Amino acid sequence: SYDLTQPPSVSMSPGQTARITCSGDALSKQFAYWYQQKPGQAPVVVIYKDSERPSGIPERFSGSSSGTTVTLTISGVQAEDEADYYCQSPDSSDSWVFGGGTKLTVL
Amino acid sequence: QVQLVQSGAEVKKPGASVKISCKASGYNLADYTLHWVRQAPGQSLEWMGWINAGNGHTKFSQKFQDRVTITRDTFARTAYMELSSLRSEDTAVYFCARGRPISEDYYDSRGFTEWGQGTLVTVSS
């Protein structure tokens, strides 16, 4: 297996741009996925295949990839975006790994 | 709409086993993979394994492969995850989640697109 590393926390004021990174060797070869999880709820996928946005996810959520690091960007953070965010990636044998999670606080 | 409904909370003693169900509606269970993910209190998500609900093939995280069994009953539209030799560290919320269509390669996955509501398993003597 392999590790995906995220910062434990990010704090932003409303309207600012939040960037959450996820690093791991496998990310240079595999797609990344991002999930938003609010307290007491199941996760929701907000970005798939590095940069694709599922229907129903606001346009302010975007994803990018460079080498072994992927980034989730939330442009114009809103209070409702306060949540835990997890990156995820498969390996070539179709096993999956989650990052440690990043708590986004909207001040 | 697609829904995954899990069985209720469980309290188990150390050494026991727990079996959780995940009933699918709004789609054909057999057409997709079905994953199990757990989350200990205050901790990150942890992938446990998946089942190809069409042919029953399974794949597990190395951490759990000696203790976990994932099965499905396509007629009942239900998948099951059984975890044995429980210890206190297995106290967590367990989620099922729909993966990719079985006709697609993992590389085409859109991630875990629908999730069950979670089942709290408490392991305590």
> Does the CB of B113 have a partner CB in chain A at under 8 Å?
yes
Say yes or no to pLDDT of A45 above 70: yes
| Rounded CA separation B17/B64 (Å) | 13
Q: For the stretch B57-85, what's the b/e string if a residue is b when 16 or more beta carbons lie within 10 angstroms of its beta carbon?
A: ebbbbeebeebbbbebeeeebbbbbebee
Instruction: Find out whether B26 and B3 touch, Cβ atoms under 8 Å.
Output: yes
How far B4 CA lies from chain A's nearest CA (Å)?
11
Residue B13 has a pLDDT of: 98
Give the count of beta carbons closer than 10 Å to the beta carbon of residue B96.
32
Mean pLDDT across chain A: 96
Residue A1 has a pLDDT of: 64
Residue A91 has a pLDDT of: 87
Scanning the structure block, which residue is given the tokens 């829904």?
A: B3
How far B11 CA lies from chain A's nearest CA (Å)?
19
Residue B61 has a pLDDT of: 96
Mutate to test the interface with A, among B112, B113, B117, B119 (most CBs of A within 10 A): B112
Say yes or no to pLDDT of A62 above 70: yes
Say yes or no to pLDDT of A58 above 80: yes
pLDDT in tens, A9-31: 999 999 999 999 999 999 999 99
Q: Do A98 and B50 touch (CB under 8 A)?
A: no
All residue ranges of chain B with pLDDT < 50 are: none
Scanning the structure block, which residue is given the tokens 């079905």?
A: B34
For B112, the closest chain A residue by CA position comes to A45
How far A77 CA lies from chain B's nearest CA (Å)?
23
Q: Do B59 and A93 touch (CB under 8 A)?
A: yes
